[in-house]
Amino acid sequence: NREEGRKDMKVLSLFDGIACAKVALDRAGMNVETYYASEVDEKAIAIAQKNWPDIIELGDVRHVKRNMPSAPMLRDIAHTLGDIDLLIGGSPCQDLSRANTGGKGLDGKRSGLFYEYLRVLRELKPRYFVLENVASMKKVYRDEITKELGVEPIMIDAALVSAQSRRRLFWTNIPGITQ
């Protein structure tokens, strides 16, 4: 619910999928003025757009920057990202997960997209950020992400809110976040 003096947030969700972050923000009662999404999977984009036609789709994370050139995802108009209040993302985990014994970690094609999240974070300088990834990654990768983001991760298990146990790490600069 809207509190007096509380401004509406501008959110950028990288690796957005079907806009689950939008669901979480809505359920938390956050006032989201603008929700930008970066996603490449056409089926995921279609689901997000069907449920929230006001989402501004930016396309591939590798092209996200403060001044976006004209792009089909932006309906052929140039767009400038304003000040972002919250950057959310969960870069792909395939190369980090212990389930993939041949994974290349942060050097992998998919999980290496973490560095795109980091680039966007540094360029846009949002007030707050959240990065989520698999808890089963090797310590060396966890330490690298922690070093780059400058905050320790918090482990949260999805079993707190669902019937599935799925341990995830969250790095954030939002004060007071705990499991």
Contacts of 157 (CB under 8 A, 6+ apart): 165, 166, 167, 168, 179
* Residue 20 falls in the annotated catalytic set: no
Catalytic site residue from 18, 55, 88, 93: 93
- Two structure tokens written together for 70: 């004209």
Report CA-CA distances (Å) from 71 to 15, 56, 62, 76, 78: 18, 12, 13, 5, 7
CA–CA gap between residue 120 and residue 149 (Å, rounded):
12
Catalytic residue list: 93
